[in-house]
Chain A
């Protein structure tokens, strides 16, 4: 039998466990539903924009109105927001209640003048509980930046006191400075060489969660590989008395058919990820090698674990615990400082972590040094699992000659 025939036969066996293969490939769907649960209003109501809001600006100061117009125009033009101006608060609140807008920002009359006079001014941000996720993310971004803007005005005010300047001098200083401060505020993104006003990078947690889902589902898809490898002991290998010489071809056929099964999981996941969070096509090229290497590594890991055990149950327990530990490590520890050195080192060389890192970073913004390092970790893990798995598998095969 040639390698290709082995692969064809093994794919038939792997996918032949219809229920198992189907479960492995469809496992991501409930997880993706979880994402949909939170993001559906954003995708549905916002027509692709992050926030769909109403604005009720009752402040008649020219400066604030111009500022609002500039912020709104920019965000609308960039497709980050869909904003509808309303004449009164009740209309805006009704829109939010009826689901026509996710949020309402109410700027009461005299907001700007109060701030200029050194008094506190409070704007109101209404949202529907159904939009808690997107609305509060947006609110946190806007609130922190507005807060710093307000502090900036206060600093300008204290400058007048510190300098002991006349009323006329102070008014001139204040007007000039506030004008420049507004200029910076309206171009906050340019400070770090980007565009936009609010929430630059506010979707990092979504990217991260998506990446964890990718890697976790790929890992679970390796279970049938692990299981089948274990079954070989009492199954087809024993029955067919595969000679040692053919074990190599048999082994690589298993690795490749396992890789194909895992790639099928990605085939289900990737379009969903694209639908949930637009991924630039230019980044797809970087993700694809990561997907293939992840699939190869998890397949090799599955074969390795499967080869180690005489019975499939302990093998699957081991796979489950390895996956759970890797998952927990990445989800709860990978970003923490002050970990024991051993844990830090394990996190660094974890193929699961490397895979998550490739997806979270390469899909959205590629830092080539990190990408290369993660690919190297995966490649090393793949070679290690492949080598160790090969010897374990071959040793077992020889026994049946």
Chain B
């Protein structure tokens, strides 16, 4: 078989088949975005509806404080708030009780508001805490104002002065704070993020596995049947077929790497090339074993998720699960992650690539024997 012609055909097909190419294009966009915003706090725009049924004026004060928080608050009627939450136009609602001011004036703090939160976002973790803290602020001011009003000769001007000073306090530092320290290092360890280049590697794995779909078709016109029929080697054809995809993923990696500002970009690039080749070899094994296209699609998802997770590409592995960090040494992602973390990778990555390539040759040979008998 003319391998060069097949590779040319595959390259043409790859560049015109938007279906599969879209995966890598999307991966580049998503990862460049992640790389650029890595470590920066994302602007939150969680929508919260506020129902103010308070008959007094302190409900308004609470709303003013809430509006300074990092959520998108809107004051609406109760019916509207329920409707908006129900139809997913808001992630939560706060109902300020009709006797909010009255309770605060007499120092009562029970059931001042009702908070309804839909667990629709990762950013809702501290929402209830924030609401409670703002209420405590209003409650404290109301408490002190009540006490100041009881002082003989204390007038409205004094009250205004107190309010202005209290306002400054709420905006400023606290007298009580907590310093966070890790026991092992006495300071926070420097977190290795670079999620852009890590997640691009995850997408790459999925893309490379999916690229082997031609191995799942065994129709009379299928490439697999033709190569077996002519006594060709599946592994050689696989390399020829995979090469354009590999080149595309490596090209796609460049803007992601540049956006990440990694200090050792050159080493990471080499590590990624080795990772992509190792993953391609791993995907040869998966494609050979899958048999059906549907199995390959399901396997691609499961294998990508599991392998990337245990290699530390999806997220950092906790210390207690360090065993996974060692066991995952047989995965190409492990050595790529080492490179991203600034650790040695070259020998390990080359060995893993060679091993997976060997296993791939064997499984593809087995597939050829099995298909040849059919």
Contacts and interface: CB of A to CB of B under 8 A. Distances in A.
Contacts of B131: 192
B177 A155 contact: no
Contacts of A320: 297
A165 B321 CA distance: 59
A321 B298 CA distance: 13
A153 B175 contact: yes
A326 B18 CA distance: 19
Nearest to B289: A19
B166 to A, nearest CB: 5
Contacts, number: 340
A53 to B, nearest CB: 12
B119 A372 contact: no
A131 B72 CA distance: 32
Contact of B176 (A23, A150, A187, A348): A150
A90 B75 CA distance: 51
Interface stretch (A68-76, A235-243, A356-364): A356-364
B309 A30 contact: yes
Contact of A146 (B118, B121, B176, B291): B176
Contact of B88 (A34, A151, A347, A365): A347
Contacts of B22: 321
A121 B120 CA distance: 37
B151 A169 contact: yes
A95 B3 CA distance: 63
A162 B162 contact: yes
B121 A335 contact: yes
Contacts of A16: none
A149 B80 CA distance: 34
Contact of A185 (B72, B85, B136): B136
Contacts of B299: 23
Contacts of A313: 213, 217, 293
A192 B115 contact: yes
B158 A129 contact: no
Interface string B112-139: 1111111111111111111111011101
Contact of A162 (B112, B158, B173, B297): B158
Contacts of A99: 320
A78 interface: no
A107 B277 CA distance: 54
A285 B57 CA distance: 42
Interface string B163-178: 0011001101111111
- Number of chain B interface residues as a range: 35 or more
A158 B166 contact: yes
A169 B128 CA distance: 36
Interface stretch (A111-119, A266-274, A288-296, A381-389): A111-119
B162 A191 contact: no
A118 B173 CA distance: 12
Contact of A201 (B128, B158, B324): B128
Interface in B291-346: 291-295, 297-299, 301-302, 305-306, 309, 314-315, 317-321, 324
A249 interface: no
Please list the 5 inter-chain residue pairs (A to B) with the smallest Cβ-Cβ separation, ordered nearest first.
Answer: A150-B176, A150-B174, A335-B121, A30-B306, A130-B320
15 contacts: A124-B179, A133-B318, A148-B133, A151-B175, A155-B166, A163-B158, A169-B151, A202-B125, A204-B119, A205-B123, A208-B120, A209-B122, A334-B88, A335-B121, A344-B89
Interface of A: 17, 19-20, 23-24, 26-27, 30-31, 33-34, 37-38, 40-41, 93, 96-97, 99, 104-105, 111, 114-115, 118-133, 136-137, 139-156, 158-159, 161-165, 169, 173, 176-177, 180-181, 183-185, 187-193, 198-205, 207-209, 211, 220, 223-224, 226-227, 312-314, 316-317, 320-321, 334-338, 344, 347-348, 353, 356-357, 360-361, 364-365, 367, 369-370, 372-373
